[in-house]
Structure 1
C-alpha cells in the first residue's frame, strides 16, 4: 500500500520522559522566566568490540561481566536549547515488567543493586547554549556479585527554579543499562514467535500482533516488519514496521503492527520478521482481518480457513456427487 501508518521501530539513543512535578518548600514570588527553546540530550559514545554489530549496544549500555570486573563507557550530554543549562548526571534503578510492561524506570534516584556498582563522572555539568560535554560511566562489579541480568538508567537531569507556589519542573533523559553478570560471554539471547493475530482496532484500522517469548538469557527489545501479499486482486503491501517494549528472559510480549485503515480484509499471506539485536526470527502465516475483535492466524496453506472446514466441504461435495450419479442411473433405468 502507498500509505503506511506502521509504528516506528527504530532504536532510540535516549529515552525522553515528560517533566515531573516535584514539591518543594514555598518560595518567594519571582518574575516568570521563559521556557528554553530546545532540549537536553544524552547518548552513548562507545560499545564493546564484541557487540559492534549489535544496534542495541550502540544505543544502550549492554555487557556481560564476570564478578570482580570494572568497565567504563563514555557518554555525551548536549544542550540544544537557547539557554545555559545546569545538568546532574546519576544512575537510578530500572526493571522490566511482566507481559507488556516493558522497560520501567523507578522514580527519582531510586537505587537497586546495579546502581550501587555504578558511578558517573562528573556528576554535574553546566552547558552553554548549543554545546556538549563528555562524561564517563563506571561499573565496578563486586567479586561476590550474584549471576543474572540487572537493569538501570544513566540520567541527565535538569531542574527549573521553583515558582511562587513552590512547584519545580524537573526533566530528565537517560541511557538504558542492561548488565548480565556471569562467566564467559554470558547466556545467549533468543526468541520465538508463538502466534500471529489479525485484529481490528476501535478506529477500524487493521492490526497484526506477533506474540513473542524471550527464550534466551538476556533482555530483548523486539521490533520487526510485516509484509502482506496475495491479497484481493493479488495486491501486496510494503514492509510495515512494528515494535514492543523490553521483554525479560522467560517472559512474553507483543510486537504490534498497525496498517492502513483502507486495507481490504483479505485473505492475506503475512510474512512476519521479529528481531532484537542480532537475534532474528521469521514466520509466514495466512490471515484475514475480522470485522471486529481478533482472530488467530493459521499457519496452513488454506488461506486462513481451518482444515476441518475444508474436510466438511469435501465431504458434502462427495455426498452430493454420489447422489447426483444415483439419480442419473435411476432415470436411465426408468
Structure 2
C-alpha cells in the first residue's frame, strides 16, 4: 500500500502556552522552526501511497481513498530539537474543513475519523536533537459512511514552568484527508470562478482569485499569477500565493499581493491555481482601482462580450448570406 519517501516534507507547527489547550487554530504548513527557549518538536510523513507519488499533497499530508473495511499504515518521524531529552506524545485528534479552511478542534477532541486512527508507539523518549519513528494505523470500519473526513496526527511535548504552575505545551501535526468509498473515490476538481483587482489596507495592489471546489475531495489551493502587457509593455515576475483548504462544494480565495509601486494598468493577467494534480488557468484583463475592487474581464473576448454570443452572431451572418445567395440563384434561373 505504501512506499518510503526520503524527500523532506513540510512541518506543521503550533505552539500553545497555557494550563490547557483551548481555542481553535488553523494548521498551516511551515518549516520546522529553530529550537526555542523550551526547544522545539517536529513531525513529518515518511510514506505516501504508490498511486499518489506524483501528488505533492500526498508527500506532506496523509491523503488516501479507502473502501470500508480497509486498514492502512503510514510511517512518521518525530524530532526533538531541544538540547535535552524529551518525551513526545503522539495521537490523533479531530479536524474539519469549512469557511476558515483546515481547522483543528480543541485539545484531544475526537471525530469519527480520529477514532479509526492510532499511533504506535503513542509516546517516545527522544534524545537531544534526535529523531524517532512511529506508525500511524487507520482502520476503516466495514460500515463506515462514504465521504471525505479530516483529522490531525499530533506530536506533543509538555514542560512545567519552574515555580509558575503553568504548562508550556508545544504540538505539531500532520493533516489527514481520508475519502471513504469504492474505487478511487470522487476526483478532485476546481474552477477559477472570478478574478478581482483590489487594493489592500496599505494601498498596495492585490489580485484575488475565487476558487470553487467542484470535485469530491478537499483542496489546498496554491496559485501563481503573471502580469504582462502593462504600461509601456512591461511585465512582472510570477507572484505566488496559497489559500486555505476548501471543502467539496464550497469556495475560497487565493490573494496575490504586488509591490505598491506597480502601475495600475491595464494588465493582462495569467492566473493558475493548483491543488495536488489539479491545475486550472484563467486569462483576464484588469486595471487596479484607486480604491475598492473591480472584477477582471475575461480576455477571451476583447469587448467583454462572451465568446458564445460572437459565435451566435457569426452563425446568423452565415445564415443570412446563404439565404441571399439562394434568392439570387433563383432569380437567375427564373
The bucket for the TM-score relative to the shorter chain is 0.7 to 0.9
Q: 2-side partners of 1:175 and 1:19: how far apart? A: 17
The answer to whether structure 1 residue 22 and structure 2 residue 23 are counterparts is no
Within the alignment, does 1:183 sit opposite 2:209 as a pair?
Answer: no
Is the CA contact (8 Å cut-off) linking 1:285 and 1:297 kept in structure 2? yes
Taking the aligned partners of 1:137 and 1:301, their CA distance within structure 2 comes to 49
Q: SS state of the match for residue 294, structure 2? A: strand
Contact 2:9 2:45 in 1 (8 A): no
- 1:251 is aligned to 2:256: no
State the Cα RMSD in Å: 2.1
In structure 2, the residue matched to 1:62 is: 63
- Higher relative CO (Cα under 8 Å, sequence separation at least 6) belongs to 1
Q: Deviations over 1:274-321 (max 9, x none)?
A: 0000000001000000111111101146778899xxxxxxxxxxxxxx
SS of aligned partner of 2:297: coil
In the aligned structure 2, how far is the partner of 1:23 from the partner of 1:156?
Answer: 16
Kept after mapping to 2: 8 A contact 1:152/1:177: yes
Which whole-Å CA distance do the structure 1 matches of 2:46 and 2:17 have between them?
Answer: 27
Q: 1:190 to 1:301 in 2, by over 3 A?
A: closer
2:41 matched residue in structure 1:
40
> What secondary structure sits across from 1:50 in the alignment?
helix
1:126 equivalent in structure 2: 125
1:85 lines up with 2:86 in the alignment: yes
Equivalent pair of 2:11/2:172 in contact (CA under 8 Å): yes
CA contact (8 A) 1:286 1:301 kept: no
> CA 1:303/1:75 → structure 2, altered by over 3 Å: closer, same or farther?
same
CA distance in 1, matches of 2:304, 2:203: 22
Instruction: Indicate the residue corresponding to 2:323 in structure 1.
Output: none
TM-score by length of 2: 0.82
Native 8 Å contact 2:230 2:267 kept in 1: yes
Equivalent-residue separation in structure 2 for 1:302 and 1:149 (angstroms): 39
How many Å separate the matches in 2 of 1:120 and 1:149?
21
Shift of 1:13: 2.2
1:262 and 2:285 matched: no
| Aligned counterparts of 1:180 and 1:83: Cα–Cα separation in 2 | 40
SS in 2 for 1:126: strand
What is the CA–CA distance in structure 1 between the aligned matches of 2:300 and 2:66, rounded to whole Å? 46
For structure 2, list consecutive stretches of 5 or more residues without a partner in the other structure.
1-7, 22-34, 307-334
What is the rounded CA distance, in whole Å, between the counterparts of 1:23 and 1:109 in structure 2? 11
The structure in which a higher percent of residues are strand is 2
**In 2, distance between residues paired with 1:212 and 1:86?**
42
* 8 A contact 2:231–2:266 mirrored in 1: yes
| Cross-structure match for 1:316 | none
> 2 CA distance for matches of 1:160 and 1:298?
55
Corresponding residue for 2:201?
Answer: 202
